[in-house]
Amino acid sequence: MKKTNVIQAWLLLLPALVLLVAFTHLPTIKTIWRSFFSIGERTDTGFVIDNYQYLWEDDVLWQVLGNSFWYLIGTVPTSIIIALTMALWVNSKLKGRSFLRLAYFTPTILPMISVANIWLFFYSPEIGLFNTVLGWFGHDGYNWLGDPEVALTSIMVMTVWKEAGFFMIFYLAALQGIRPDLYQAARLEGAGSFTILRRITLPLLMPITLFVLVNAILNAFKMVDHLFILTKGGPNNASNLLLYYIYENAFSFFDTAYASVLTVLLLLILVLLALFQFGVLERRIHYR
């Protein structure tokens, strides 16, 4: 009986496992292998470290890593703070909060590509909405996507807009899980709204904040769709991000080997993120 159980378990798992191994685990190993055993699209080179040597010499890569870093710093805290604020608003007794919840959440379900087309218009230098509005105040406006100084920030603004509503949902769920008697007790003790927020709500939202944080960081590395529409990583790589750079190397420059090296780099970052999650976060999340 026990033996048939075990066989059945593996049979039930088989289809999912085969696909997971074929499209997650094997490719991960093959990426590492390819990064050491090929140059460009050639795979008959034997062991080489040229690709890794090139990492150091590749100025664009360092620029891309810098961009990815600023993109992370610029989008993650901002979206989390906006998401938290949204959740607090929608969870309070504001007028029209069901409409607001809908409005905040809408960007989440719309395809990045489609909405990027609309943002492309907002950002366009001559007739775009942002420059028109700035024009009313006598400002000349910016070349939002064409100016290397501004392009990455423009990308970040759109990213925050797209992400905040998604993270709001997690906060909303957490807020609804806080026991109302905690608030009643605090009110009896004479605590004001701000004290309640600082002493009760925010501490109880810590676990979900850490969860959102990890997801936001992961998304910051994963989200590049809008680059295809808005800047294509330009001007002059000013808004290029790691995953987009991988795509460029693999499918525009046909340098599969170097794309693999870059993927290894991205995988390393994700491993660090995972260690951070399991090492630091898991321990804290279970404090309740």
Partner 1 sequence: MSKLSNLFMTVCAWALGIAWILPLLYAFWAAFHPAETATSFDLTAPLTLENFKTAWQQAPFLSYMINTVVITLMILIVQLVLCTLAGYALARIEFWGRGVVFALILMQLMVVPEILIVENYQTVASLGLVDTYLSVGLPYFASAFGIFLLRQTFMTVPQDLENAARIEGCSRLQIIWKVYVPLARPTYLAFALVSISYHWNNFLWPLVVTNTENSRPLTVGMAIFGAPESGVDWSIVSAGTLISISLLLVLFLIFQRQFVQSFMNSGIK
- Identified binder of partner 1 from the candidate list 38, 68, 240, 260, rule CB under 8 A: 260
87 binds partner 1 (CB under 8 A): no
Give the range of 56-64, 146-154, 183-191, 254-262 binding partner 1 by CB under 8 A: 254-262
User: Among residue numbers 128 through 167, which ones bind partner 1 (CB under 8 A)?
Assistant: 129, 132, 161, 164-166
Output 90 or 238, the one with its CB closest to partner 1: 90
Q: What is the largest CA-CA distance in the chain?
A: 82
Per-residue burial over 44-56, b if 16 or more Cβ lie within 10 Å, else e, is: eeeeeeebeeebe
Cβ 66 to partner 1 shortest distance, Å: 20
Task: Single out the segment in contact with partner 1 by CB under 8 A; choices: 10-18, 64-72, 134-142, 182-190.
Answer: 10-18
Q: Which of 53, 106, 184, 236 binds partner 1 (CB under 8 A)?
A: 106
Q: Which of 279, 257, 256, 260 has the alpha carbon at shortest distance from 268?
A: 260
Q: Closest separation between CB of residue 273 and partner 1, Å?
A: 7
Specify the amino acid at residue 74.
G
73 binds partner 1 (CB under 8 A): no
Stretch that binds partner 1, among 118-126, 148-156, 180-188, 233-241 (CB under 8 A): 118-126
Cα 28 from Cα 33, distance rounded (Å): 9
Binding mask 169-188 for partner 1 (x = CB under 8 A): xx-xxx--x-----------
Of the candidates 124, 210, 144, the residue with the CA atom closest to the CA atom of residue 171: 210
Among 49, 73, 81, 102, binds partner 1 (CB under 8 A): 102
**Long-range contacts, 145-150 (Cβ 8 Å, 24+):** 145/120, 145/230, 145/231, 145/235, 145/239, 146/235, 147/235, 148/235, 148/236, 148/238, 149/238
Least CB distance to partner 1 at residue 94 (A): 5
Cβ 173 vs Cβ 139: under 8 Å:
no
237 binds partner 1 (CB under 8 A): no
Stretch that binds partner 1, among 54-62, 65-73, 134-142, 258-266 (CB under 8 A): 258-266
Does residue 39 sit in helix, strand or coil?
strand
Cα separations (Å) of 143 from 5, 85, 159?
A: 65, 30, 18
Q: Is 195 in the site for partner 1 (CB under 8 A)?
A: no
Q: Which stretch binds partner 1 (CB under 8 A): 71-79, 82-90, 134-142, 198-206?
A: 82-90
Residue type (1 letter), 79: S
Residues in 20-59 at the binding interface with partner 1, rule: CB under 8 A: 20, 22-28, 30-31, 34
Q: Which residue type occupies 93? A: K
Task: Round to whole Å and give the CA distance between 105 and 280.
Answer: 30
CB of 283 to partner 1, least distance (A): 18
